[in-house]
Structure 1
Amino acid sequence: MIRNYLKIAWRNLIKNKGITTINTIGLSLGIGCFILIALFVTDELSFDQFHKKADHIYRINSDILFGGTEIHMAVSSDPMGATLKKDYPEVEEYTRIYASEGSRLIRKGTELIEEFSVAYVDSTFFNVFTFPALKGNPKTALQDPNTIVISEKAAIKYFGSVDQAMGEILEVNSNGKTLFKVTAVIKDMPKNSHFHLDFLISMANVNYDFGNYLSHNFHTYIVLKEGTDYKEFTTNFKEVVAKYLLPQMSQYMEVKSMEDIEASGNKIEYSLVPLKDIHLHSSQSIELSANGSIKYVYIFSAVALFILLIACTNFMNLTTARSSGRAKEVGIRKVLGTEKKSLIFQFLSESTLVVVIAHSIAILFVFISLDWFNNIAGKEISIKALLQPQFLIFLILLPFVVGPLAGIYPAFFLSKFQPITVLKGNLAKGMNKNTLRNFLVIFQFTTSIVLIIGTIVVYQQLKHIQTTDVGFNKDQVLIVENSNLPDETRKSLKSEITQLTEIKSASFAGYIPVSKSARSDTTFSTEIVATAENGFNMQYWRADYEYIETMGMEIMAGRNFSRSFGTDSTAIILNEKAVALTGFKNPIGKKLYKSMENNEKTIYTIIGVVKNFNFESLRQDVGPLSLRLGDNSWRTAYRFNTTDVEGFISKIQKKYEAASPEISFTYSFLDDSFLNMYRQEKRIGTIALIFTVLAVIIAALGLFGLATYIAEQRTKEIGIRKVLGASTTIIVKILSKDFIKLIVFAFLIATPIAWWFMSSWLRDFAFRIQLNWWVFALTGIITLLIAVLTLSFQTIKAAITNPINSLKTE
C-alpha cells in the first residue's frame, strides 16, 4: 500500500515539474537554514558541559559600587576560594586562574614566540576541571614551583610530539628568563570551553602580594557538594565581607561596619554563576574570553523556526494553488470508493516525499556552506556534528515532522472536495475559503519585515560605533608589543623611530582605551581622612608625557604632564567623569588622596582635566579615570601620517628585528582593536542579513504561490472583464490589490514587534542610535517592491491571456 502511495506521489511530482521545483527549492533553503542555525545554537548551548563536575562548579563574581563608580567583574580576591573552603563545609574544592600578566615569550630554538593563551593556575585546577591528560598526572603536575602543563598543540609546536615534550624544559620570558619543566601534556581544550589555555604554569611562580581581600585579580572557581543550593550559599558572602574585607578596609579608610558603607550608597557584593551559564549569561568585565549571549540564541532559534515555517507555508500555498489540477482526480477516486483518510494519507505521502528530497538537498547545502558559515559566525563546527547521536536522530526525524506539517492543510483541503461539485466543473464550491492562506502569507511577510528592520538597525548601530566621537583619535595609531625587550632597548627604539618623517608622536602606552587592555582600579578620597562618604574608585593609569597627544585626547582644563615641572611626579590628570565625582567646581590645584595600608596616603595634585573618552565598549558609560606620570613601556603607540602603511610598517619591523632578532615583531592598529570589541555584533549583523535575504526569497516564493492560486480562481472573471474592455493595467491592479492589502497588514503588525525587539537590543549599549521612522518606512517600501516584482510575472501573465481561452477553461 505504502509503495503504491509513493509511486503515485512520485508520478504527480514529475508531472508538475515547475511547482515541484519551486517547492523543493523553498523547502531546501528553509531546512538548510534551520539545520545551520540548529548547529549554531547547539554549539552555543554546549559550552562547558563536558566537565564531570560541571553541575557543581561555580565562578565567583564581584559587584562593587563605591563613590558612584560601579564595576562588575569576573574576578575576585586571591584568598577568597581558600577562605570559603576553610569556613564552609559545602565547598568541596576551589581553584584559581591568574591571567592578568598577559602574553609571554616562549623560546623555540633561537626564536622567541609570543603566546597569549598562558595563565597561572592552582595545583587543584584538574581537581575541578576535566581536561584529559595524554602524558603525566595533571593532578600532581603543578604542585611544585617551575612546573608547567601544556596542551597537545603546544607540545607538537615546541617539541615535535607529545612523547618528546614530557619532562623537557620550556623557557618562558617575562622581565627575565624562567625555566619550567613540562610535567604533563593534556588534550587541547575543547572549543566549547569558556577559556582556552595552552600553557598552565604553577601558581607558585606568581609574583603577587597574596592575602589582599581588596584586590580582585583571580578567576576563582569553587565546587559545591551535591545538593547545595548555590543561591542560598551566596548569602554567606555577607559574612565573609564583614569578617575579612572590613578589617582590611579599615586600614585604608575610616569605616566601622558594612552598614556604614551601605548607608553611604555603596556596596561590596559577591555572587556565584554556574559554570554552564558563563558563556551565555555572563557579561562581567575581565572575562577570560569573549562570551556569547543567550539573547542571540533565542533570536536565532526563533529565526530558524520562522524560516522553516515560511518554507512550509510556501508548500501549502503552492500545493493548494495547483488544486484545480487535482480536483477531478479526487472526485473520480471518491466516486470509485476511495475513503477520505486514504486520500489524506496519499497527499501526506507526497508532501513527505518532497520534504525528504528537499532534506537531502539541504544536508548537501549545509555540507558545502559549513566552512563559509563558520567563518562568518566565528565558529569551528565540524560536519561530524551532524553525526552526533542526538543530532543524527534530529536529522532523521526532521523530514517526518516537516513533511506532515507542510502537507497537513493541503491534504485535508484536497480530500474535502465534493465529487459531484468538482466533476461538474464548479470547483469554487468544493473549496475552502482563503482565510488560512491569507493568514499564512501575512505571517511570512510579518517575519520578513521584522528581520529586515532588525538587520538595518544592527548595521546602523555598527556604523554609529565606527563614527561616534569616542574622545580619542583611534585612526593611524600603530601599537607595538614590546613587553619582553630590555628597558633600555625599548627607550632607544622609541627614540629612533620617533625620528622617522612618518611619525607624529610616540608614547609608551601600556594602557590603551579598548577592552582587554591593562586596567587598574584604585580608591581615592577628596579628604585626607578617607571615609565611605568622600571615597570613590576610579581607573588609575600610568602615562608618559606624550600619551595624551599620541592618543589624540583633548585637555579641557589645566595642562598636560610636562618635563618643565619637576613636581609632576605627584601630579594627576582626571577625566570629566572623575571630576564630577570629586564635586570640585574648579579642580585645578585641588588635592586627591590615594589610600595606602595603615591609613598612609599618597597626595596628588590635579593639574589637568581630559575630555571623557570611551576606554571600554560603547555598551558602557564612560567611567571615572585618572592619569599619573609613570612608565608602562610594555607597549608602544606610534601616531603616524602616511599613505604607504605597508612601507611604514616594514621600516619599523626592521628596526625592532635589528634590536632583538629572536623576538617576533607583533603589532596591531588601534582602530582595529577598537572594532574588535564589536566583533560579535558584526557577526550577528552578517548572519542576520544572510538569513533575512533567504527568508524574503522564501516568502516571495510563497507569494508567487498565492498569486498563482488567485489567478486560477479568477480566470473566468479576467476573461469577462477583458471582453467588457478592461485594460491590462486595470486587471493587474485588480489582481494585485488584495496582495497589497496583505503586505500592508503584515507591515502594521511587524512594525511594533520590530520596534520592541530592537529597542530591547539597543538597551545593551550606553551609546546608541535612535530608532528613526524612516527605517520602518524604508522597510515597508522594500517589502512592497519585492511583493510587486513577485506578483508582476503572474498577474501580467493572467492579464494578457486571450479572453476566449480564459472563458473556454471555465
Structure 2
Amino acid sequence: MFYNYLVIAWRNLIRHKLYSLINLGGLAVGLTVCMLILIYVAHEHSFDQFHAQANQTFAVHEQLKMGGGESVQFPTMSYYTGPAVQQSTPAVTGYMRTHQPHKSVIIQNPAVANATFTESNFLFADADFFRFFTFELKQGNPATVLREPLAVVISQKMATKYFGTSNPVGKTLRIKTDSTFTYQVTGVAAPAPSNSSITFDFVASVASLKVMPATAELVKSTQLRGGDFRTYFRLKQAADTTQLQNTMRRLVQEDSFAQVQKFVFTALPDLHLKANFGDFTNSKYIKIFPLVAGLILLLALINYMSLTTARSTIRAKEIGVRQVFGANRKIIMAQFYVESTLFAVLAFSLAYGACYLLTPWFLNKLQLQIDTAFLYSPTLLLLLLGLLVFTILVAGSYPAFVLSGYQPVATLKGKMGKQIGAVRVRQVFTTAQFSISVGLMICGLVIDRQLYYFRHTETGINRENVVMIPITEMFGNHYQQFKREIAALPGVAQVATARYPMYKGYDMWVAKGKNSTEDILLPVLSVDKNFVPTLGIQWKVPPVSQDVLNQPQKIVVNELALAKLGLPANPVGSLVNMPGGDGFEVAGVVNNFVFGSLVHETQPLGLVLAPDTANAWGAVGGCLFARINPRTNLPTVLERMAKTYQQFDQTTPFTYTFLDDAFNAQYQAEDRLASIFGVFTGLTVLLACLGLFGLTTFTITQRTKEIGIRKVLGATTLSIVTLVSKNFLQLILVSIVVAAPVAWWFMQQWLQDFAHRITISWWIFGLAGGAALIIAFLTISFQAIKAALDNPVEALRNE
C-alpha cells in the first residue's frame, strides 16, 4: 500500500509540473534559510561545551558600585585571587589565570631575516592551561609546556608561519610585549575550535611576567580585587557559587576594601553570550534570526498547504472512489502524508545542497568561522533531521485532515461547492503570507533608516580626511620630531596626539563630585592642545589663552561634565579633584561630541592636556591624528607617512585608519543585520508571490469557462483582469492593516536598544504597503492578462 501511495504521489508530481515546481521551490527556499540559521544558532549555543567539566567552571568578575549609584564591572582580577580563594574554600578544586597584553605583540624568528610580525592573539597563562581547558596539544606535554619562565606554546598556524615545515619545538622566538625577551617554543597546539570563547595563537607561561620589569608588579599584589587577570574557578558542584561568593566577600573585607561590591560568576558555556566585555555583537542576532527563519518556513508551508487544498477539486472523485471501496479516514490521511513526505524529502534534499553552497557566503556576512567538524557533528545532524520531521508533519497535517473529511456521495456527485479547498482558509493563508512580507519590509526600512541616521547625524567631530596612526613606545624621545615631520608633509593640514585612537577606548578616572566624599567616574581622553582644532571640536567656553593648554595639570571638560562634577557654567579656573592628587584646573569647556558609539548615550568627558613637548607619547605609545587637505592625492601622502614612520620604528609595521572608517566600524553588527535582513525580506516576498501566483493560476483554471463567456458577451481585458485581481488585492490591503501595527511595535522595541534613534515615519508604512500592492498586482496580472487574451472558443469547447 505504501508503494502504491508513493507511485500515485510521484505521478501527481510529474503530471502537474507548475504546481510541483512552486511547492518544491517554496519549501526548498524556506528550508534553506532555516538550515543556515539553525547552523548559526546551534553553533552560538554550543560555545565551550567541549571542555571537560564545563558546567562546573566559572569565570569571575567584580561589580563595584560608585557614587551616584553607578555600577562598574571589571572582568579581571588580581594575580593573588586564584590561589587565595582556592586555599580558603573546599568548594574550589582548581583555578586558571590568563593575561592578555593590552597592545599588539611583536614577534621575530631570530633565525630568519625579515621574519618579524605584529600579533594580537597572545595569552599568558598558568602552567596547567592545557589540562584545565580541553585544548589539544599536537606536540608537548600538557603538564610541563608552560612550567618554566619564557616558555611559549604556538598554534599550528603560527608554527607554519614562523618555522615553515621544520619542527618548532626547542627553537626560539624573540617576543616583545613591554620588553623583548627570547622565548623557547615548548609545544604546538591544535587550532582552538570555532565555538571556543578562549582563542589564542600563542600561550606563554605566566611565570614569564615575573622576569619582565614592566609586568613584575602585576604578580606582586596581595589584594583580592583589582588586577589584570581573567580568572576561572572549577567547583566541586555547579551550585557552589553561593559558597564561592561568600568566601570572596569575606576575603575582600579582610583587605579593608570599603566599596560596596559583589562578584558575578558565569558558567563557561554561558560566557560567550552572557558575559561580553568587548565589542562582540553577534548575540544581537540570536533572537531575531530564529524568528525570521520560522516566519519564512511558515510561508513555505502555507504555500504548500494552500495549493494542495486548492487543487482538491481535481482529486475529489479519486478520494470518493477510495472511500466507496472501503478506505477509511486514516487510510486517506496516510496517503496524503506519504505525498507530503515525498515533497518534503525532495525539498529538503534541494535545500541541503543550497545550504552547502550558501554557508560560506552566510558566515562571511556574519564574519564568523565555523569548523567543518561542527557542520557534520551528531548534534547538528539530529537538529536537521528534526527539521525534516517537523516539515513533514506540518505540511501534511492540514491537507490530510481536510481532504480525508470529504463525504463520498458529495464528492462523486460533484456537490462539494465552495467548501472544496477551504476557500476561507486559503484567504487567511494569503493574508498571513503578505502580512509577514509587509511586516519584514517595514522592519527592513526602519533598520536602513537607523543606519543612515548613524552615518549622517551630527556628532560634533569633523571626521573627513583624518588619518589615525598608532604610535608605539619604540619612538621614545623622537616622537616630537616624528610629529613635526608628518606635519611638514605636503597635503597635511594639522596634526594632534591622543592616548587612544578615537572610538577605540578611553580611560576611566575617579573624580570628586559636589560632595567631597562622593566618587564620580569620569571618562577621560589624554590629548595634546591640537586635538580640539584638528578634529573640529567646537568650544563652548574657550580658554583665556592657547598657551594655557600647554601647561601641566590642565583639563578641558564637555558640557555634560559640568553638571556631573558640580561645576559652574563658566568653570575656567575651577579645580577637578582626583583622589590622592592636587587636582586639575579647568582650562575650558567644549560642546558635547560623540567619542563612542551612538548606540549609547553621550557621556560626560574630560580632556586631560599633556604639554606639547611631553616625551610621554613616545614612551608609552599613543595615536597621531593627521588631517589631510581636500583634493590631495591620498595614496601619495600615505606612502610618505609610511616612509617617515619607518625611519623611527623599523620593527612595527606601519598601519593607519581613517577616522570615518573607525566611526562606521562601530556599526558592523547593524550593517550585517541590515544586509541579511534584506535578503530574508526578499525571500519572504518571493515566497508570498509564489503562493499568490499558484493560487491565481488555479483560480483562473477553475473559472476558464466563466472568463470565456464574459469575453463572448463583450468583456474587456481590463474588466477580466479586475475581476481576477479584486479579491486578491483586497486580501493584500487587509494584510497591510494587520502588519503595520505589529511591525511598528517590534521596531519600537528594537530601537530602544539605541540611545540615539530615529522616529518611525508614516511614509515607511506607505512605502512598504505600496510596494506589496504593486508586487501582488504584477504577480496576479501576469496570469490574468494571459487568460483575458486567450481565445474564448477554446475555453468554451474545453470540458
Conserved? CA contact 1:351–1:407, under 8 Å: yes
Change in 2 beyond 3 A, CA 1:413/1:80: same
Distance, in Å, in 1 between the alignment partners of 2:698 and 2:70 is 61
- Is 1:594 aligned to 2:578, yes or no? yes
Query: 1:776 corresponds to which residue?
Result: 765
Cα distance per residue 1:264-302 (max 9 Å; x no partner) = xxx544322222222222344xx3x62532x52122112
Shift of 1:396: 4.1
Cα distance per residue 1:471-511 (max 9 Å; x no partner) = 32233222223315232444333221211121112223332
Distance, in Å, in 2 between the alignment partners of 1:228 and 1:623 is 39
Alignment of 1:121-200 (within 5 A): 121-161=125-165, 164-200=167-203
Query: 1:27 corresponds to which residue?
Result: 27
Query: 1:271 corresponds to which residue?
Result: 264
Distance, in Å, in 2 between the alignment partners of 1:561 and 1:455 is 51
- Is 1:695 aligned to 2:699, yes or no? no
Change in 2 beyond 3 A, CA 1:232/1:744: farther
Distance, in Å, in 1 between the alignment partners of 2:709 and 2:243 is 78
Conserved? CA contact 1:538–1:624, under 8 Å: yes
- Is 1:447 aligned to 2:432, yes or no? no
Shift of 1:74: 4.7
Specify which of 279, 282, 290 is matched with residue 292 of structure 1.
Answer: 282
Specify which of 508, 513, 535 is matched with residue 551 of structure 1.
Answer: 535
Change in 2 beyond 3 A, CA 1:741/1:567: closer
Shift of 1:663: 3.3
Change in 2 beyond 3 A, CA 1:608/1:200: farther
Conserved? CA contact 1:538–1:625, under 8 Å: yes
Change in 2 beyond 3 A, CA 1:624/1:215: farther
Query: 2:552 corresponds to which residue?
Result: 569
Letter of the aligned partner of 1:218 in structure 2?
A: F
Query: 1:638 corresponds to which residue?
Result: 626
Q: Alignment partner of 2:195: what SS?
A: coil
Letter of the aligned partner of 2:282 in structure 1?
A: G
Distance, in Å, in 1 between the alignment partners of 2:513 and 2:30 is 63
Query: 1:538 corresponds to which residue?
Result: 522
Q: Alignment partner of 1:602: what SS?
A: coil
Alignment of 1:457-496 (within 5 A): 457-496=446-485
Specify which of 295, 298, 315 is matched with residue 304 of structure 2.
Answer: 315
Query: 2:2 corresponds to which residue?
Result: 2
Shift of 1:808: 5.6
Query: 1:619 corresponds to which residue?
Result: 599
Letter of the aligned partner of 1:89 in structure 2?
A: P
Change in 2 beyond 3 A, CA 1:311/1:455: same
- Which stretch of structure 1 is more off in the superposition, 362-371 or 650-659? 650-659
Conserved? CA contact 1:278–1:291, under 8 Å: no
- Is 1:224 aligned to 2:228, yes or no? no
Distance, in Å, in 1 between the alignment partners of 2:732 and 2:372 is 39
Cα distance per residue 1:424-483 (max 9 Å; x no partner) = 444526725322222222222222222212222222221111112223223322222331
Shift of 1:146: 2.2
Query: 1:53 corresponds to which residue?
Result: 53
Shift of 1:330: 3.0
Cα distance per residue 1:136-181 (max 9 Å; x no partner) = 23444334332223222222211225x7222222111245422222
Change in 2 beyond 3 A, CA 1:243/1:727: farther
Count of aligned pairs between the two proteins? 777
Distance, in Å, in 1 between the alignment partners of 2:236 and 2:640 is 59
Alignment of 1:581-730 (within 5 A): 581-585=564-568, 586-596=570-580, 601-630=581-610, 631-633=616-618, 634=621, 635-641=623-629, 642-715=631-704, 717-719=706-708, 721-722=710-711, 725-730=714-719
- Is 1:119 aligned to 2:123, yes or no? yes
Shift of 1:654: 2.5
Letter of the aligned partner of 1:152 in structure 2?
A: Q
Letter of the aligned partner of 1:450 in structure 2?
A: G
Q: Alignment partner of 1:595: what SS?
A: coil
Conserved? CA contact 1:90–1:228, under 8 Å: no
Conserved? CA contact 2:479–2:617, under 8 Å: no
Distance, in Å, in 2 between the alignment partners of 1:405 and 1:778 is 34
Distance, in Å, in 2 between the alignment partners of 1:573 and 1:106 is 39
Specify which of 369, 381, 387 is matched with residue 376 of structure 2.
Answer: 387
Distance, in Å, in 2 between the alignment partners of 1:561 and 1:95 is 53
TM-score by length of 1: 0.89
Shift of 1:44: 1.2
Letter of the aligned partner of 1:591 in structure 2?
A: L
Change in 2 beyond 3 A, CA 1:539/1:511: same
- Which stretch of structure 1 is more off in the superposition, 105-114 or 415-424? 415-424
Shift of 1:5: 1.9
Distance, in Å, in 2 between the alignment partners of 1:775 and 1:100 is 47
Change in 2 beyond 3 A, CA 1:488/1:143: same
Shift of 1:69: 7.9
- Is 1:362 aligned to 2:351, yes or no? yes
Q: Alignment partner of 1:228: what SS?
A: helix
Cα distance per residue 1:510-556 (max 9 Å; x no partner) = 322314x3x322212258x9413xx3121233212322233332232
Alignment of 1:315-354 (within 5 A): 315-354=304-343
Q: Alignment partner of 2:584: what SS?
A: strand
Change in 2 beyond 3 A, CA 1:568/1:430: closer
- Is 1:76 aligned to 2:76, yes or no? yes
- Structure 2 alignment gaps of length 5 or more: 210-214, 611-615
Distance, in Å, in 1 between the alignment partners of 2:446 and 2:275 is 24
Conserved? CA contact 1:512–1:615, under 8 Å: no
Shift of 1:605: 0.8
Letter of the aligned partner of 1:55 in structure 2?
A: N
Cα distance per residue 1:685-734 (max 9 Å; x no partner) = 11111111111101111122232343344455545555555443334333
Letter of the aligned partner of 2:205 in structure 1?
A: S
Distance, in Å, in 2 between the alignment partners of 1:142 and 1:275 is 22
Q: Alignment partner of 1:513: what SS?
A: coil
Cα distance per residue 1:756-800 (max 9 Å; x no partner) = 222222122111112222222221112212211221123334444
Shift of 1:106: 0.8
Change in 2 beyond 3 A, CA 1:478/1:337: same
Distance, in Å, in 1 between the alignment partners of 2:540 and 2:117 is 42
Distance, in Å, in 2 between the alignment partners of 1:228 and 1:683 is 38
Distance, in Å, in 2 between the alignment partners of 1:618 and 1:81 is 38
Cα distance per residue 1:236-288 (max 9 Å; x no partner) = 665455443625xxxxxxxxxx5xxxxxxxx544322222222222344xx3x
Conserved? CA contact 1:732–1:795, under 8 Å: yes
Query: 1:521 corresponds to which residue?
Result: 508
Letter of the aligned partner of 1:54 in structure 2?
A: A
Query: 2:255 corresponds to which residue?
Result: 244
Conserved? CA contact 1:577–1:624, under 8 Å: yes
Distance, in Å, in 2 between the alignment partners of 1:511 and 1:278 is 28
Query: 1:264 corresponds to which residue?
Result: none
Conserved? CA contact 1:28–1:359, under 8 Å: yes
Shift of 1:590: 0.3
Distance, in Å, in 2 between the alignment partners of 1:427 and 1:17 is 26
Conserved? CA contact 2:193–2:371, under 8 Å: no
Shift of 1:37: 1.0
Alignment of 1:81-100 (within 5 A): 81-100=82-101
Q: CA RMSD in A?
A: 2.9
